[in-house]
């Protein structure tokens, strides 16, 4: 069982990709909607939330954790890996690998990152990019207004377009060739972001990279796969409908977004975890 968490619906972009590329693996999702956004909070507070979220997922039977939240991964990954013995996959490492490979191939080695304030201020992406590609120039842009707009379901509103334009203008001036969507909420705005930054800029989606990273991990960890297969033999066959989605609060806009992300009706289970 794979446990995935985020501050809200953002991590569902990761969960939905995991369903597509590893449909045989059962998922448990936790969206800490009651505390969203994480990205405007202190590193200490985010770490506290991340610990509670992991404890909850482990109690429910998760054997591998995906931190589908850049803000939590950027601020807390080292502490969490030291504290928990389960494998923890994060959104940042895989994303950096894809972005640096991309920019090295006939591109100008100028990478932009958009993310929450916590993610950008942590310097985590920049540090990892420089380790992999010292010649790369890195330009981070905090986008604190995007998560609330997305959680509100304002994916095509004029106001959202204006905010996207405002945040991307400095990155256009830096002539980046690669843009990291350093927040798992942002794939919901890909259409606006790509249009504004220009078709020539390669977008790297942290939700896709995290899901790919899980697949490689499972391919190399037969014991986790075989546990899942054993359960399948002894019980009902696994169907996507069996994946469970817990949230710390439910609102109509959240329900609508969850259904949109998965393309089906998602049963959101409220828990006080």
Give the binding range for ligand DGL (CB under 6 A) out of 31-39, 52-60, 82-90, 154-162: 31-39
Cα separation, 38 vs 126, in Å, equals 20
Give the binding range for ligand DGL (CB under 6 A) out of 6-14, 219-227, 230-238, 258-266: 6-14
Please pick, from the candidates 1, 5, 6, 98, the single residue that binds ligand DGL as defined by CB under 6 A. 6
Does residue 17 bind ligand DGL (CB under 6 A)? no
Does residue 100 bind ligand DGL (CB under 6 A)? no
With respect to ligand DGL, which residue has the nearer C-beta, 119 or 141? 119
- DSSP letter, residue 170: H
Cα separation, 85 vs 140, in Å, equals 32
Does residue 228 bind ligand DGL (CB under 6 A)? no
Assess contact for 138 and 177: CB atoms under 8 A: no
Strand blocks (E) in 7-87: 27-31, 64-67
Please pick, from the candidates 184, 202, 228, 248, the single residue that binds ligand DGL as defined by CB under 6 A. 184
Minimum separation from the CB atom of position 19 to ligand DGL (A): 18
Minimum separation from the CB atom of position 10 to ligand DGL (A): 3
User: Among candidates 42, 53, 116, 118, which has minimal Cα distance to 80?
Assistant: 53
Tell me the backbone φ, ψ of residue 29, rounded to 5 degrees: -115, 140
Diameter of the chain by CA atoms?
58
Which residue, chain included where needed, has tokens 């986790």?
A: 224
With respect to ligand DGL, which residue has the nearer C-beta, 46 or 62? 46
The CA radius of gyration of the chain, in Å to the nearest whole number, is 18
From 69, 136, 143, 213, active-site residue: 69
**What does the binding site for ligand DGL look like in residue numbers (CB under 6 A)?**
6-8, 10, 36-39, 69-71, 116, 119, 147, 183-185
Q: Which residues are catalytic?
A: 69, 183
């Amino acid at each position: 069982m794979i446990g995935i968490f985020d501050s809200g619906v953002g991590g569902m972009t990761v969960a939905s990709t995991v369903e597509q590329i590893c449909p045989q693996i059962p998922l448990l999702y936790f969206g800490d909607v009651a505390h969203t956004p994480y990205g405007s909070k202190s590193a200490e507070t985010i770490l506290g939330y991340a610990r509670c979220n992991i404890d909850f997922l482990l109690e429910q039977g998760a054997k591998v954790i995906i931190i589908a939240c850049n803000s939590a991964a950027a601020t807390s990954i080292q502490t969490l890996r030291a504290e928990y013995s389960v494998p923890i996959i994060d959104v940042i490492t895989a994303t950096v690998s894809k972005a640096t490979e991309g920019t090295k191939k006939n591109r100008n080695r100028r990478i932009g990152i958009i993310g929450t304030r916590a993610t950008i201020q942590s310097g985590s992406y920049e540090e990892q990019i420089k380790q992999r590609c010292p010649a790369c120039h890195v330009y981070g842009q905090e986008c604190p207004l995007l998560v609330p707009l997305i959680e509100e379901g304002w994916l095509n509103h004029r106001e959202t377009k204006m905010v996207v334009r405002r945040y991307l203008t400095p990155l256009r001036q830096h002539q980046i060739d690669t843009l990291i969507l350093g927040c798992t909420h942002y794939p919901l705005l890909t259409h606006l972001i790509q249009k504004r930054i220009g078709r020539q800029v390669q977008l790297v989606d942290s939700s896709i990279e995290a899901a790919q990273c899980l697949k490689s991990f499972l391919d190399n960890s037969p014991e986790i796969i075989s546990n899942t297969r054993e359960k399948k033999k002894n019980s009902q066959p696994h169907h996507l409908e069996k994946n469970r989605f817990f949230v710390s609060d439910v609102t109509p806009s959240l329900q609508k977004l969850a259904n949109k992300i998965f393309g089906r009706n998602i049963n959101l289970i409220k828990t006080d975890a």
